[in-house]
Amino acid sequence: MSVIEGKKAKEILKKAEFIAVLTGSGISAESGIPTFRGNDGLWKKFSPEELSSFEGFYRNPAMVTEWYRYRRKIILGTKPNPAHLALADLERIVTEFYLITQNIDRLHQRAGSKKVIELHGNIMENYCIKCGKVFDIEEFDCVYEKFEDHVPRCECGGYIRPNVVWFGEPLPEEAFSEAYKAAVNCEVFISIGTSGAVRPAADLPRYAKYNGAYLIEINPERSYLTDIADLWVKGKAGEVLPQFVEEVKKLKGMK
Ligand SMILES: [Zn+2]
């Protein structure tokens, strides 16, 4: 049984040379990454706002720093799944490709994806809230060990925070404008494992569709996007995406 059904879908994917993809938490969940809504063990007593907002960080930087170290450790213990690998593969077979993600775990990069647009930042980097200096994991851990209170501070004296988008913060402007450009210019837009409810990321598939792209949704359940999607591939990304990419290759005469 094929996952790309219908003559039109096949024709479009055969010719498509510009594909944009949006991924959400569903694809990370398949690698075993929890949603981290603050309901795991030790962290239960804190509200998501305390753990993931600038106000929470400013009030208690030591706690928020530990929370992100804990999450980072869990994420580093996971691996890209077949869906991540299939997307890296898809990038290699078309001329223009952008992978827009709402995930902060960097699993797409670990799977080999190159053009990744991170809408919510990523958990592997930290930056100084005063001068903006970026610290990778090694640099951050080094500074972390240096301070007895385990609240890493930059040479300039500023606190160092995770490079992720917190409650109440806007998306990084450059990333969103790149994502917007990809959405309005692509021929095919594929939305994977996202509810289609959280704006402004959820607007991207709509921008794509209204600008003439063929909209494909890959999701085990219906979402807010299903009704406007041209093709809904029902299933878990890790199960259907590898086959989807194989079928695209076949349509393009690559196999
Ligand atoms: Zn600084």
Q: What is the DSSP code string of 176-215?
A: HHHHHHHHHH-SEEEEES--S-STTTTHHHHHHHHTTPEE
Domain assignment of residue 2, yes or no? no
Distance 36 CA to ligand 1 centre (A): 28
In sequence order, the 6+-apart residues with CB closer than 8 A to the CB of 11 are none
Residue range 195-223, pLDDT digits in tens: 888 888 999 999 999 999 999 999 999 99
- Residue 88: is its pLDDT beyond 70? yes
Q: Are 125 and 134 contacting, i.e. CB atoms less than 8 angstroms apart?
A: yes
Q: What percentage of the chain carries pLDDT values higher than 70?
A: 97
Apex 174 CA angle, 90 and 138, nearest 5: 80
Asked if 130 and 237 sit in the same domain, the reply is: no
3-state secondary structure of 217: strand
Phi and psi of 183, rounded to 5°?
-65, -45
Residue 116 lies in a domain: yes
Tokens standing for residue 42: 């030790």
140 Cα–ligand 1 center, Å: 12
pLDDT of residue 116: 98
Which tens digits make up the pLDDT trace of 10-50? Answer: 999 999 999 999 999 999 999 999 876 655 566 777 888 88
Model confidence pLDDT, tens digit, residues 113-169: 999 999 999 999 999 999 999 999 999 999 999 999 989 999 999 999 999 999 999
When divided into structural domains, the chain yields a total of 2
In angstroms, what is the span from residue 28 Cα to ligand 1's centroid? 32
Task: Report the distance separating Cα 235 and Cα 42, nearest Å.
Answer: 33
> Distance, CA 172 to ligand 1 centroid (Å)?
19
Query: Distance from the CA of 163 to the center of ligand 1, in angstroms?
Result: 14
Helix/strand/coil percentages in the chain, nearest 5: 40, 20, 40
Q: Is 108 a catalytic residue?
A: no
**Could you tell me where the beta strands, DSSP code E, fall in 42-196?**
96-101, 116-118, 121-128, 134-135, 160-164, 188-192
Residue 95 in any domain: the answer is yes
Q: Which domain holds residue 199?
A: 7-33+80-120+171-251
Catalytic residue among 84, 108, 120, 150: 120
Q: Of 201, 242, 195, 198, which is closest to residue 221 (Cα–Cα)?
A: 195
CATH code at position 142: 3.30.1600.10
- Report, as an integer, the average pLDDT of 220-246: 96
CA of 53 to the centre of ligand 1 (A): 20
Cross-strand pairs, 164: 121
pLDDT of residue 41: 62
| 252 CA → ligand 1 middle, Å | 50
What is the 159 CA–ligand 1 centroid distance (Å)? 7
Is 93 among the domain residues? yes
Tell me, yes or no, whether 215 and 242 share the same domain: yes
Question: Which of 111, 143, 164 corresponds to the end of one domain?
Answer: 164
How far, in Å, are 15, 45, 104, 185 from residue 25 at the CA level? 29, 23, 9, 25
Pick left, alpha or beta for residue 40 (phi over 0 → left; psi -120 to 50 → alpha; otherwise beta). beta
